[in-house]
Every structure is written in structure tokens, then in C-alpha cells.
Structure 1
Amino acid sequence: MAVRAALRRRFWASVPARLRLLRTATAVLTAALALLLLVAGLAANGTWDGVADRDAPRTTSAADLNLALNDMDAQAANILLSHGDAGKGSLKTPYDKAFGFYGDARRGIGHDLRTLAVAAQGNRADEKTVESLTDDFAEYQELIGRALESDDRSGGKASAVDEYRRATDLLQSRLLPASRMLVSSNDGSFEARYIAARSTLSGRLIAVVALGVLLLTALGVLQWYLARRFRRILNPAVLAASVCALLAVILGAQMLISTSVQLRGARRDAFDSVVALSRARAVAYDANADESRYLLDPQWRAQYADAFLAKSQKLYGIQGATLATYDAGLAATWKAYESDHHDLLFTGEFRRELDNITFNGERAAAEKTVETYAVYQRDDRKIRALVAAGKEQEATEFCMGWEPGTSNAHFGAWMTALDRVTDINQAHFAESVRTGRSAVSGLLPWADGLLVAAMLLTALGLRPRLAEFR
């Protein structure tokens, strides 16, 4: 009891003791709030670094790999289809373009594999996937190389088609599933970190507000005590400290709220669409390759026709549609969508993008993508009709041509429209990252500076009062 009484006399019984205790409480709360904001700001910067420099690039690299694999196989089919018999009767422009695109895709795959190998370090599952992809890609290149060598020999087309068929089987059974797994794995890691970051931001916002309320309460009690004990209405320095503390809490909360809002914009509004559109582009290239395979390999035409329809359904799904009914179904469901954007008559990657319209110009660009896709689909039916009529050379020229009105020209227009939507979302993703980083760099120094000022003002405001008791 004696110890307790002594402590009470030392820390609370006298006026100076009470003033020192209140000064210490406000100083501790101010320092704690400043430290919390500093930690939160540094963590927010770390989150933005992870989003912009790790999570998004890894996911897009995996999507680029998936696309490049499809493109390389499509161009290999185009090379074989346009080369004629050991170069005799070749379609020069389609052949030259296919050969150039083939080399670009191969180099892109090599770059993407190296990028993903670095990104996979520490994740054993992803490491094994990249290792398997690298080995399988080497085998795939060997098979394609044999096919191209056979095609250079007079009468070697049948052998070339057989080697190409084996390469395509390897692509479809091992390479593409593994690349899609990497897209899902990296996107899943991004999603998990996004959810964790948003949760942490919410927790820190609550903590900032709670500490801010405690600090303002302590300053209010100090102001009340000074007014009551020294017969003064207000202590100007403590009042100024209270204003600084209030502004610091507001700025700190604004920093955390802005970071959370921009993080959601980057992930949900922009990057979710980027992923859907990247998948759509890869599927589009694979579907386009199925047309070339259909013309190149008559024995497997039924299989390639089914594959083309399956990929079309992934892009723009119409329940129960066949190749014969797909165009009519697309026209009917699209007309219904134009009347009511919330209709559920079609599914697929295009539907996913159309349900996530956020930015100016995005809806018009997305709708343009579907409209150019419809033109390309009608070209496919023309190719199959020409084949059915025994006009295979005409079908090949229409499929492989780059002149206005040909299938490749319409495919290019479709990809240009698709890229436009992707560019809109990527631009807003980058803008969200810049705005999120600016919120931290712009508000954190002010918030912590104001808290330092509040601490100094509190000390200055109490100094004259404590001096009266010396």
C-alpha cells in the first residue's frame, strides 16, 4: 500500500505529475501513430512493387507463353499449307509471313520460358512445370523441324503432315495444359496476395482511426485539464497540436483508403479483364490454327472441326450450337445483348469481359471485338463450304490470304480490336499503380510530419506551465 501511495503521489497526485503523465501519453500515442503510418506506407509501397514488378508480369508472361505456343503451331501449319510441293506452287506472301511469324513466336517462347524459370524459383510445383515445358518444347521443335525438312523434299508432304500431327499432339496434350497451369498458378498467387493486402489495409485503417481517436482524446483531456487548472480557455499550442493530429489521421486514413481503392481498381477492374482477354487471344490463335490444320490434314478434318467449335464456345459460348447453327446463334444472342446488357444468353471469355466494363471507351471496344469476331466466324463457314464443294485450293487461298476481305485480314482486324480492349485495361492498370504509389509518397510525409509537429507543439505548450512549478 505504501508503494502504491508513493507511486500515486509521484505520477498523479501533483499538478506537474499529471501534466507530465498527459504529455507522456500524448507523446507515446503520437509516436505509435506515426510509426504505424510509416509501416503501413512502406508496406503499401511494397505491395505496389509486388503488383507491378512481380505478380502482373509473371501472369502476363505465362499468358504470352500460351499465346506464343499456339501462334508457333499455327504458323507451322501455315508454312506447310502454303509451301506447295517442295516450294512448287507455293503461296509466296502467306508463306513469307508465316515463316516470319513462326520465328517471332519461337523466340518469344524462349524468352517467356526464361522469365518464368526465374519467377518459379522457390515454388517447386511451378519449377517442375517450367522444367517439363522446356523439355517438351525442345521435343516439339525437333518434330516441327523434321516436318519442315520433309516438306522441303519433293513428295515429302505426307511425311511432313505426319510429323506435324505428332508435334500438334504434343502441343495439345502437354505444352498447352502446362502453360495454362502456369497462367492459373501465377494469377492465383496474385489473387491471394491481393486479398491479403486488402485485408491488411483494412486492419491498419481501423488501427489508425483507433489510435487517432485515442490521441485526440488525450489532447482533449490535456486541454480540458489546462483550462480547469490554470483558468484559461485554450492553450494555443495544444490546440494547434490537436489540429495537426486530426489532419494527420485524416491524411493517413486517406492514404490507406486510396491504396485499397486503387489496388481493387488495378486487380478487379483492370487486370481481371487483361487475364480474360489474354486467354481469349491464345484461344483465338489456336482456333485459327485449327482452320489451317483442317485444310492441311484431310484425315483429321472432323477432329479439327470439332476443336474449332470447342474453342469458339470458349470465346463466345452458345448452348447447343454446332458449326452449322453457330452464326445464327451468335447473331440472335448478340442482338439480345444489345437490347439488354445483362442478358445471360451467351458465355465465355467475351462475356467475362463484357460483365467487367469499367473504363471509358471499354464497352465500345469490347463490342467491336465481338463484331469483328462474327465476321471471322462467317469466313470459317465459307472455307468449309469451299472444301465441301471440292474447291480446296480456293479455300486455302482465302484462308491464307492477307488481301482485304480474306480470312487472315479479318482475323487481323479481330486481333486489333481485341488488343484495343486489352490496351485500355492495361493503361488503367498502370494508372492505378501510379495513383496508388502517389497516394503513399504524397500523403505519408505530410501525415508523419504533422504528427512530429503535434508532439513538439504539445511539449512547447506544456513547458511554460511546468516552469511555474520549478
Structure 2
Amino acid sequence: MQAAAENLRTAKEDAFNCMHVLRQARAAAYTANTAESRYLLDPVFAPNYEQVFFSNIAQIAQIPHGQTVETIASAYNFQGKKVDGFKGYIADELNNITFAGEKEAALASLITLGKYLAIDQQIRQLERSSKHQEAIALCLGNKFGQSNWLFEEFKTANQKTFDINQAAFDKAIGQGFSNVDGFEIKTGIAVGMIALLSFLGLLPCLKEYSN
């Protein structure tokens, strides 16, 4: 039962909690990427789409003042410590690293997000400079270094981190079921043995009183 409880803890706290925030990060990223395009294609509501973009990015990763994506990645990668004020789904994931390869995949998603935001800044600068077609090309482009290419890179890193946790979750659940496999039969045998041994232990006393 203790082994089953530990496997359940691993599945829930170490794996599933990470899987949950990673899926939330993915959903927020989709919303942000859509808002980035609508910012260019619907100028009347551009300020609204810009707000949606940055609010969803903040849910994924909120970089504290005085820090950059690079300094945060360095702190987690080389110093192995949390960064004060760093919040969001990626922060939640990095603060719950358990499995082999998980930290590297999570840091890859953070670094890719930073590159994606740098391109987004260029898109908005082009748009404000009345270079609308260039802004659209950079936003919708799938070539190396363009916005949609970086979005796909972020999704790949996010999925890799998710897959690591999914594999650990499946393993822990499988081991948990194995721990309690045949538990009812084993319990029945154990109770029967206890009753039999108790009876055999009391038998001399019962014979004494019967005499």
C-alpha cells in the first residue's frame, strides 16, 4: 500500500500537475498567436488584440523586472534555483522538475518563447512604421526565424516536455496497479493466516480450560 501510495503521488504531483500546466501554456500560446495575427488584420480592434496577446503571454511566462529569458534560463540550468518574481505556466513547470530530460525541454520552450516575443516586437514596429505587408509576412511566415516558425518550435518543445511527464505518469500508474494486483486475494489469505495462527496460539489455553 505504501508503494502504491508513492506511485500515486508521483503520478499526480510530479507528472500530472506538470501535464496540466503544459496544456494550459499550449492553449494560451494558441490564443496569443491568433491575437498577433488579428492585430494586423483587424486594425479597428488592434489595441484589443494586443492586450489579449500580452495577457496570454503573461500567463505562459511573466518575466520579472531586471531579468531576461536568458538570465532566467541560466539560473535554472546552471545554478539550479528558482527566480524570484518569475511566474506563469513555464515557471510552474520549471519549479516541479522531476524526470530526466524534463528541465532541458522546459528551458527550450522558455528560450523559444523569448525568440518568439522578439519577433513579435519587430512585427509591431513594422506595423507602426506603416510597413504593413512586411509585418504580415513576418507574422505569417513559416521560414526559419519567422513568427509562425518559432510558434511551431515552441509547440515542439512544449510537447516534448509533456511527453516526458506523460511517460512518467503512465509508468507510475502501471506500477501502482501492479502494487495492488491481487490485493483482495492476498488480504484474504493474510487474514485467514492471522486467524489460524491466533487459533493455534490459543489452542493450548483452550485445552487447559477444557480439562
Output the TM-score relative to the length of structure 1: 0.41
Distance in 2 between residues matched to 1:285 and 1:390, nearest whole Å: 26
Shift of 1:375: 1.7
Choose from 151, 155, 167 the match for 1:427. 167
Distance in 2 between residues matched to 1:267 and 1:334, nearest whole Å: 26
Q: Give secondary structure in 2 for the equivalent of 1:441.
A: coil
Choose from 327, 337, 354 the match for 2:94. 354
Could you say which residue in structure 2 is the equivalent of 1:299?
44
Distance in 2 between residues matched to 1:465 and 1:263, nearest whole Å: 46
Query: Structure 1 residue 331 and structure 2 residue 76: aligned?
Result: no
Could you say which residue in structure 2 is the equivalent of 1:223?
none
Match of 1:393, as an amino acid? Q
CA contact (8 A) 2:28 2:56 kept: yes
Instruction: After superposition, give the CA deviation of every residue in 1:87-127 in whole Å (9 maximum; x if it has no partner).
Output: xxxxxxxxxxxxxxxxxxxxxxxxxxxxxxxxxxxxxxxxx
Could you say which residue in structure 2 is the equivalent of 1:267?
12
CA contact (8 A) 1:369 1:417 kept: yes
Distance in 2 between residues matched to 1:385 and 1:260, nearest whole Å: 54
CA contact (8 A) 2:76 2:82 kept: yes
Q: Give secondary structure in 1 for the equivalent of 2:68.
A: helix
Match of 1:329, as an amino acid? T
Query: Structure 1 residue 369 and structure 2 residue 114: aligned?
Result: no
Shift of 1:388: 2.7
The share of aligned pairs that are identical, in percent, is 36
Shift of 1:342: 2.2
Shift of 1:410: 1.3
Q: Give secondary structure in 2 for the equivalent of 1:390.
A: coil
Cα gap change, 1:335 to 1:458, in 2 (>3 Å): closer
Distance in 1 between residues matched to 2:204 and 2:198, nearest whole Å: 11
Query: Structure 1 residue 409 and structure 2 residue 149: aligned?
Result: yes
Distance in 2 between residues matched to 1:444 and 1:371, nearest whole Å: 50
Could you say which residue in structure 2 is the equivalent of 1:440?
180
Match of 1:380, as an amino acid? D
Q: CA RMSD in A?
A: 2.6
- Would you tell me which structure has more helix in proportion to its own residues? 1
Instruction: After superposition, give the CA deviation of every residue in 1:190-209 in whole Å (9 maximum; x if it has no partner).
Output: xxxxxxxxxxxxxxxxxxxx
CA contact (8 A) 2:139 2:148 kept: yes
Match of 2:4, as an amino acid? T
CA contact (8 A) 1:333 1:345 kept: no
Count of aligned pairs between the two proteins? 209
Relative contact order higher in (CA < 8 Å, ≥ 6 apart): 2
Distance in 2 between residues matched to 1:265 and 1:436, nearest whole Å: 10
Instruction: After superposition, give the CA deviation of every residue in 1:226-255 in whole Å (9 maximum; x if it has no partner).
Output: xxxxxxxxxxxxxxxxxxxxxxxxxxxxxx
Distance in 2 between residues matched to 1:316 and 1:271, nearest whole Å: 20
Distance in 1 between residues matched to 2:3 and 2:184, nearest whole Å: 12
Select the structure of larger CA radius of gyration: 1
Match of 1:365, as an amino acid? A
Output the TM-score relative to the length of structure 2: 0.85
Distance in 1 between residues matched to 2:13 and 2:19, nearest whole Å: 10
Query: Structure 1 residue 258 and structure 2 residue 3: aligned?
Result: yes
Could you say which residue in structure 2 is the equivalent of 1:393?
133
Match of 1:390, as an amino acid? S
CA contact (8 A) 2:70 2:111 kept: no
Match of 2:19, as an amino acid? V
